[in-house]
Structure 1
């Protein structure tokens, strides 16, 4: 499969970096690829990122602490997850300078840890990239003392926002922080058990410190809204709770049980005044509140930016889940032979159109969402760096845009992964249901991503509210619609866009993502106009703003938010795949991936496209469907090589049916025979031998 271009490049000669996959049943499928897979890997990741990931993967594979084993108890799983997390810090993959200045390294490490075990990735991310990042970006110089302790894991952190009775409605949280000028301390207090911090990752048995969100009050009960505080909840030397803190574990979950989710109540816990994270506002020793923002919009934008980081990380981790599932299912499908022409050999199930259309759109989605999540993470880093420079105006706008994108992005990515993993499980038949092949654990571990950092349906309201707010300001004479990342700039031409119609003459004309891109722009404009009109109708009927927004969600605002985010993903991947620097051997495959994801996603909105008049006649829908089938057929022979680009090493993938050699049955048979006590007689065998059949049943027989 190697090309002349591969052999002539100094970078591509590094076989140690990108070793040839082992020969075996998958070799024939790899040989049919239309592109040089090494060249795509280098273009997609870059030499530096590939070397970094190889360093991480090699370290894990060669460390006995990371050796695979039988599923442990929840307590043991959390213990080994912490030990592995601590070992990751000992490897120093992310020195302080890299953690602060090289966001691509941060993202790469999260992807590596997610591929190995999502519980490990979540534990690490919550400590370093949520707790640590919150202190670094929302605090000031007086809080930098925590950073070395965080990087060395001398203290371990968590992010305590959600309460037992309040999750999505963060403004209504009830934990309080009253300032006492006599002692220059804040008093952190939970008024009752419903105000207990709940579902907090890392809090259950591990965290020593928490960033706690509470309602800040200065003397005379002056409220200043939600602020963040650094609160010590355990003694790092004993892991016993600090005085006044009740802390524990919420219990066994449906998945991600290596991550300890906990709860905490605070009983008049006093902390120093300096432990208020004071970038939004501060309190003087005498008790005077000092706001650091000129207006509420700036303060709100900074808050939204800070709260977006968890959603961006979930986007990255859930995309890794989908990447693993697709890698397993496609390698399986290329080697699993069933049926065939009469008198002929059985054919790989990937040759069947149904299998292609079940799996290849999710392969395309993996590439598109991976690219989008990485680009959004870089934008988040830009936001945080700008806040550190006190660039309030632009950063407030950027914070609102990232909040809208990450809210819908987390929803789209986690839902796509959940549906995709289930489809991959079913596409692998009964073998996919064996736990040893990992698809079940991927599905269960991904499930909470649909809820963590906000329920997906509730988060979509954040995105639609952002769009409706822009639309309302424009209609009130507020100037152009534009944003720092330019994801909404197309709305400025909404009137012209709504006059356009689908004008494609043949399915072949649909085979570029520009066709779906134009359709998506029309769709978002249409849904924005419909949502705005629906809201006004509700208001004219006498409903309050709250009631009107609530009555606009189904069929309107929810669809608007999803279509907007899909458009953003489609646009980013289209621009990436059509940029001039894409090497000629890679252009066709990347553009097919882009077109397939765009058309497959758009096809889910066919009813709306017809209802709004963009589609007319039966041929429009048929052409899109035909183009999807064509793209699947074109990508079928490239799919195994595309998986080789994105799949981690076999040790990390940890699935007998998904190994790179394609020895499907040999690997699965060996894994089954190596299972615990598979050939031993049942421990309860004597019950079978000695127990008589129940009397009533025996008489009936």
Structure 2
């Protein structure tokens, strides 16, 4: 009848030894997160009372008759595993917290650490170097973007638990899978970038990059492997795409695709493809249109490829042949959702000064992502060569501008000292004391 959940006693209440038929094994020491005591269970002919069935999705009467409100094994399976959604929401939000800590440590160190400079002048902060800005400022912008996206996900999840609305359940299921995968993968890479940005001091255990990296690394795997979760997102996008052509409607998070698909199916405008003014490039409509155009293009093209390959390879073979394409589609879609939430947050910010700072950070996030994938936009003539060059130049300039408020931006995370803990992330006096004693007893 499918996967069901039961309450199963595993130890004797007095002796704490495993009950008959129950085997318990420890999974051993792990790379990190050893505070989580993972173990393995095996059951051999263990009988439990009928009342131990958690019967929300299926029940058994006293005379052995099975009933369920869900009509198929697949629906019961999805409902039972649906509780994993809460874990994915928590992981996405927690991963943002780890990224905030790492970015705070790396940026504060980069502001305090001075190295070289013009002849006969004081040495300059290493964050004044363009290469350091290139490493850390887009990462800081991403941290803010992820903060708003994850906070919105938590709100949606809370509303879902209150209302049990079917559309919201489907929306949160796909969105939690995508954000958990995207954010945790980004944070894992960023932890290494932050470590390298802090040089030798970043390698000192006391400055925490090693422990943060080891403890966070499993985020990419548990509550669903990231590659598998992105396939769930891609599968949901394909389902929504098919529903559209059967007269259905896109639900919740995917609504933007209807308009974007129409835009994609028409040819790119050769005039706007050449616009390179700062006002245009920093216009949220241009940024969001670019993100969504890419997603629509990837969705349309992967549908064509899947249909083509399925004739010879079958559905499974076609999916595997297009797997990298599908993963890129899912990531593109999640980036579109993240940017949309960031733009909403900027526009709803009540304080003009804070809004201006957030707008700057949001523009950097958007243009840095477009720059990273500029080849895609160039290949379809969505961005002309002069515009690509202007995007690259403006992204570097925005990184420089964000550097000027980097201290205030990380201070706004409001992380207590006992959370940050790394000496190189403390104020100048603590940092100075640390550098004087490090390596000496």
Larger RCO (CA under 8 A, 6+ residues apart)? 2
Aligned residue in 1 for 2:417: 650
Please say if 1:491 is aligned against 2:257: yes
Aligned residue runs from structure 1 range 265-304, under 5 A: 265-293=42-70, 299=76, 302-303=79-80
Aligned residue in 1 for 2:224: 454
Alpha-carbon distance in 2 for matches of 1:318, 1:668: 29
Q: Deviations over 1:301-352 (max 9, x none)?
A: 6445422111111111211111111000000000100010011110001111
* Larger Cα-atom Rg: 1
Q: Is the 8 A contact 1:513 1:599 kept in 2?
A: no
Alpha-carbon distance in 2 for matches of 1:241, 1:357: 55
Please say if 1:231 is aligned against 2:8: yes
Pair 671,277 (structure 1): closer, same or farther in 2 beyond 3 Å: farther
Alpha-carbon distance in 1 for matches of 2:80, 2:279: 47
Q: What is the TM-score when the length of structure 1 is the normalising length?
A: 0.60
Q: Post-superposition shift, 1:372? A: 1.2
Please say if 1:538 is aligned against 2:309: yes
Give the helix-richer structure, 1 or 2: 2
Aligned residue in 1 for 2:291: 520
Q: Post-superposition shift, 1:294? A: 5.5
Q: Is the 8 A contact 1:301 1:400 kept in 2?
A: no
Aligned residue in 2 for 1:345: 122
Unaligned runs of 5+ residues in structure 2 are none
Please say if 1:634 is aligned against 2:401: yes
Q: Post-superposition shift, 1:495? A: 4.0
Q: What is the TM-score when the length of structure 2 is the normalising length?
A: 0.93
Aligned residue in 2 for 1:199: none
Give the strand-richer structure, 1 or 2: 1
Unaligned runs of 5+ residues in structure 1 are 1-223, 388-393, 674-678, 680-701
Aligned residue in 1 for 2:328: 559
Please say if 1:408 is aligned against 2:178: yes
Aligned residue runs from structure 1 range 95-134, under 5 A: none
Q: Deviations over 1:437-488 (max 9, x none)?
A: 001111111111111122211211111010011112222x23222x2xx211
Q: Is the 8 A contact 1:304 1:399 kept in 2?
A: no
Aligned residue in 2 for 1:242: 19
Aligned residue runs from structure 1 range 402-441, under 5 A: 402-441=172-211
Q: Is the 8 A contact 1:327 1:647 kept in 2?
A: no
Aligned residue in 1 for 2:363: 595
Q: Is the 8 A contact 2:3 2:80 kept in 1?
A: no
Please say if 1:257 is aligned against 2:25: no
Alpha-carbon distance in 2 for matches of 1:296, 1:627: 53
Q: Is the 8 A contact 2:276 2:391 kept in 1?
A: no
Q: Deviations over 1:221-269 (max 9, x none)?
A: xxx1111122222345554323321112111111111211111101122
**Which of residues 379, 388, 392 is equivalent to 1:611?**
379
Aligned residue in 1 for 2:237: 467
Q: Deviations over 1:587-613 (max 9, x none)?
A: 111111212122222322222222233
Alpha-carbon distance in 1 for matches of 2:81, 2:171: 9
More displaced, 299-308 or 318-327?
A: 299-308
More displaced, 236-245 or 556-565?
A: 236-245
Pair 247,623 (structure 1): closer, same or farther in 2 beyond 3 Å: same
Q: CA RMSD in A?
A: 2.0
Q: Is the 8 A contact 2:138 2:364 kept in 1?
A: yes
Q: Is the 8 A contact 2:23 2:43 kept in 1?
A: yes
Alpha-carbon distance in 2 for matches of 1:546, 1:350: 49
Q: Post-superposition shift, 1:528? A: 0.3
Alpha-carbon distance in 2 for matches of 1:645, 1:350: 19
Alpha-carbon distance in 2 for matches of 1:408, 1:248: 33
Aligned residue pairs, count: 436
